[in-house]
Amino acid sequence: MEISAEREGGAVIARANGRVDSSNSREFHSNLEAVIHKDDPAVVLDFEDISYISSAGMRVILIAAKSLQSGGVKFVLCSMNESIREVFKISGFDKIIPIHGSQSEALAAVSA
């Protein structure tokens, strides 16, 4: 699973695509760690092109969130489809990691 990253307004915007499940969660974790750093002031993980995420993928997101947030890095998610957003809501992850409807909303939130 490839993750692309760009920097905009002091934030790293990371994007993955496809499915995140037990078959590729380790690769997702490694690639996510490769594009984000604890010295970045903010990280936006864009879900626009992610069609599915399993509990293994959500675990990777939680590990990244805790690591970044403990270092004072703002970490937010954005652009989830309705089914993924519902999974994050039911699991309570939306109370741990802010979720925004669009990338522009996410960037505004981490810039504030």
pLDDT one-digit tens code per residue, 20-42: 999 999 999 999 999 987 788 99
DSSP string, 59-71: HHHHHHHHHHHHT
Strand-pair partners of 19: 52
pLDDT one-digit tens code per residue, 79-106: 999 999 999 999 999 999 999 999 999 9
- Rounded to whole angstroms, the Cα distance separating 1 from 67 reads 21
- Rounded to whole angstroms, the Cα distance separating 10 from 57 reads 26
pTM: 0.94
